[in-house]
Amino acid sequence: MKKLYFGGLAWATTEESLKETCEQFGTVEEVVIPVHRDTGRSRGFGFVQFQNQEAAEKCKSELDNTELDGRTIRVDWAKERTPRSNMRKFYS
């Protein structure tokens, strides 16, 4: 797994600033910070995909429970998103 979950992000944290923070550990392939559809504000979490496993492991161990943009962040392995089975009833 080369994808990390970042929780507790400050609203001021952008995809670009998170990428810059993570690039010190290795090549970053993708950064996504979901935004609330009504406000356009960060939902407070994001995902970073690394090119290799070693970089992801180092980033996780170095950044977990540290401060970024004034907030203590949590870094963990991203979990695969499971499809919502209850959504079928809305589209059937």
Residue 27 is which amino acid? Answer: T
- Contacts of 32-37 spanning 24+ positions with Cβ under 8 A: 33/9
Full-model pTM: 0.84
Task: Of 46, 55, 45, give the one whose Cα is nearest residue 24.
Answer: 55
Residue 84 is predicted with a pLDDT of 64
- pLDDT, residue 87, reads 56
- Kindly tell me if the per-residue pLDDT of 89 is higher than 70: no
Average pLDDT over residues 14-34: 97
pLDDT digits 0-9 by tens, 35-70:
999 988 899 999 999 999 999 999 999 999 999 999
For the CA atoms of 56, 16, 14, 43, the dihedral, rounded to the nearest 10 degrees, stands at -50
- From 55, 57, 6, select the one nearest 32 (Cα to Cα): 6
Q: Say if residues 46 and 32 touch (Cβ distance below 8 Å).
A: yes
Q: Domains of the chain, with CATH numbers? A: 3-91 (3.30.70.330)
d(CA 21, CA 40): 23
